[in-house]
Amino acid sequence: QQQVKQSPQSLIVQKGGISIINCAYENTAFDYFPWYQQFPGKGPALLIAIRPDVSEKKEGRFTISFNKSAKQFSLHIMDSQPGDSATYFCAASRGTGANNLFFGTGTRLTVIP
């Protein structure tokens, strides 16, 4: 059973546009929600993370929106650039001492120049 559901599977965006990736979860014990970026041949790298006590977090062009009641969170990439072309994974984990991340299935983002 997929604990974190991610959509879309792939996304094509024009340079300068906004990329939006959505994730949903069921387990209300999750309290840490990171987003990872992965380039081919590399391991995932943390982009940005949020805890459920805030509804939005912004770092540069990357913003996480979090809706606790709907159990959904999303990543927005503003002014998307060709260098942003990568696979993006949302994830979730439960509580202190639980370092195991449950990952979404990934979104392959392509930014067209």
Q: Binding to another protein (CB under 8 A): which residues in 32-91?
A: 32, 34, 36, 41-46, 49, 51, 89, 91
C-alpha dist (Å) from residue 79 to 24, 75, 104, 107: 24, 13, 24, 18
Among 24, 65, 76, 103, binds another protein (CB under 8 A): 103
> Is the Cβ of residue 25 or residue 106 nearer to another protein in the bound state?
106
Report which residue type is found at 88.
Y
Which among 65, 70, 93, 75 is positioned nearest to 36, based on CA atoms? 75
Q: List residues binding another protein (CB under 8 A).
A: 31-32, 34, 36, 41-46, 49, 51, 89, 91, 93-106
